[in-house]
Amino acid sequence: MKTLSEILAQITGPDEAARAACLAQWDGLAKPLGSLGLLEDSLARIAAVTGSPDITLDHRTLLVLCADNGVVAQGVTQCGSSVTASVARALAAGESTVCHMARCARCRVVPVDMGMADFSPTPGVWDRRVRNGTADITQGPAMTRTECVHAIELGAELVRKCRESGASIIATGEMGIGNTTTSSALASVLLDKSPWEVTGRGAGLSDAGLARKIAAIERAVALNRPDPSDPVDVISKVGGLDIAGLCGVFLGGALYRVPVVIDGFISGAAALCAARLRPGAEFAMLPSHVSAEPAGGLMLEALGLSPLISAGMRLGEGSGAAAVLPLLDMALAVYRSGQTFGRLGIDAYVPQ
């Protein structure tokens, strides 16, 4: 397994020749130039990641990273941490919400235990435990820096394993009660925003619950004083193991040349951490939807990415990432169609 320093040093940039070849193929098809908008851009982005305009999306894997967050003790959620394990088991059994969506998208779902509280080994759940849940960020750091780095390295290693088993695209998801709190804390620090600006109701908090959540974030940031110029410091102090692992997945996508789909707010926070750790790593990231959480759009803006879907979703589990895969299939069907202007006997469009 590569160390974080090796991962960061070995990431190179996009293949611009492959991107240009993909765009040229789009422009040769019998349709107005650029008329499929972000769908065309998405395939060009995939070509630049893989290094080839001959795009295939036949083998898809949705990695759902699962972990528990000690900040739940502060009453920032509607339910307790035991729900994380229940959903992880449902993911492994193919019964969770995203599993039904993923079947429609022909995507394998792989739940990964990054650090669920008191979770026993379960068939179908990959064991990558770093620790038994994080500490309460209102009382001190979520984890040690060493643990955070290890979680990031494990995330990158997941991409290598998926690529070796044939994955042509990876979608990201997460499951962890309390992780909209940790993600909002990250957003507050990395985007230099007040917790009030970036914190939402998560799974449906009342006004009083939202106030408790914001207050917990304020206490955590004031106590831990995370350094916004050091993403590892920020994740280790106010983040979570799911976010750290996802950060590694995004870095792994850039390293191993596999396109990785961002889900929503939480994976967006991890993606931003990855881009701050290794500027330019976002070339391997594909946006899916814009989360209904307040910072969902802000994260994508900071990454310079535009969502393909705006549906007010806030489920998590990788649901937005799964939902975008059929759109990419449709784009690929047109891209591969060979329906050029010449074949139809009409003049090609040219820029005017």
Distance CA 244, CA 188 (A): 17
Would you say residue 142 lies in a domain?
yes
Which of 300, 268, 284 lies closest to 11 in space, CA to CA?
284
Is residue 24 a part of any domain in this protein?
yes
Same domain for 222 and 309, yes or no, is: yes
Residues 14 and 33 both lie in one domain: yes
pLDDT of residue 352: 64
Answer yes or no: 317 catalytic. Answer: yes
| pLDDT > 90: percent of the chain | 90
Q: Let me know if residue 352 belongs to a domain.
A: no
Q: How confident is the model over 146-170, as pLDDT tens digits?
A: 999 999 999 999 999 999 999 999 9
| Same-domain check for residues 23 and 79 | no
Q: Residue 288's CB: how many other CB atoms inside 10 A?
A: 30
Judge whether residue 346 has pLDDT over 80: no
Give me the pLDDT at residue 345, please.
72
> In whole angstroms, what is the distance from residue 37 CA to residue 54 CA?
19
- Determine which one of 147, 157, 282, 317 is catalytic: 317
Q: What distance lies between CA 42 and its chain's CA centroid?
A: 16
**DSSP symbol at 282:** G
- β-pair type (60-67, 107-115): parallel
Least confident piece of the model among 5-9, 44-48, 312-316: 312-316
* Per-residue tokens: 193: 């925003």
SS3 18: helix
CA dist 325 and 171 (Å) reads 9
Count of the separate structural domains present in the chain: 2
Percent above pLDDT 70 for the chain: 99
Q: Quick count: other Cβ atoms within 10 Å of Cβ 294? A: 17
Same domain as 26, residue 85: no
What is the radius of gyration, based on Cα positions, of the chain?
20
The CATH number of whichever domain residue 240 belongs to comes to: 3.40.50.10210
Distance, in Å, from the CA atom of 259 to the CA atom of 159, rounded to the nearest integer, reads 10
- Whether residues 178 and 227 share a domain: the answer is yes
* Together in a domain, 281 and 340: no
Q: Are both 30 and 81 inside the same structural domain?
A: no
Which CATH number covers residue 32? 1.10.1610.10
Q: Which residues contact 187 (CB under 8 A, 6 or more apart)?
A: 193, 198, 265, 269, 295, 298, 299
Containing H/E element for 16?
helix 16-27
Q: How confident is the model at residue 27 (pLDDT cuts 50, 70, 90)?
A: very high
Both 34 and 109 in one domain: the answer is no
Nearest to 317 by CA among 200, 175, 182, 177: 175
Q: The tokens of 140 are what? A: 């001190």
Res 347 pLDDT > 90: no
C-beta of residue 114 within 8 angstroms of C-beta of residue 67: yes
Average pLDDT over residues 177-192: 97
The parent domain of residue 43 ranges over 4-54+335-344
Amino acid at 200: G
Residue 124's nearest CA partner among 86, 90, 99 is 90
The whole model's pTM is what? 0.96
Which residues touch 14 (CB under 8 Å, ≥6 apart)?
A: 45, 48, 49, 283, 284
Residue 328: the pLDDT is: 98
Q: What was the pLDDT predicted at 351?
A: 67
Residue 78 pLDDT class (50, 70, 90 cuts): confident
In a shared domain, residues 156 and 265: yes
Q: What single-letter DSSP state applies at residue 340? A: B
Same domain as 176, residue 42: no
Q: SS3 breakdown of the chain: % helix, strand, coil, rounded to 5?
A: 50, 10, 40
- C-alpha dihedral sign at 149, 187, 281, 248: positive
Same domain (yes/no): 246, 204: yes
Q: If you average pLDDT over residues 261-284, what whole number do you get?
A: 97
Q: Considering the domain boundaries, does residue 349 fall inside one?
A: no
Whether 41 is covered by a domain: the verdict is: yes
Residue 351 in any domain: the answer is: no
Regarding whether 49 and 191 lie in a shared domain, the answer is no
Residue 337 has which token pair? 């169609």
pLDDT digit string, tens, across residues 289-302: 999 899 999 999 99
In this predicted structure, the answer to whether residue 203 has a pLDDT above a threshold of 90 is no
The reply to whether 246 falls in a domain is yes
Mean pLDDT of the 244-256 span: 98
Q: Is 80 domain-assigned? A: yes
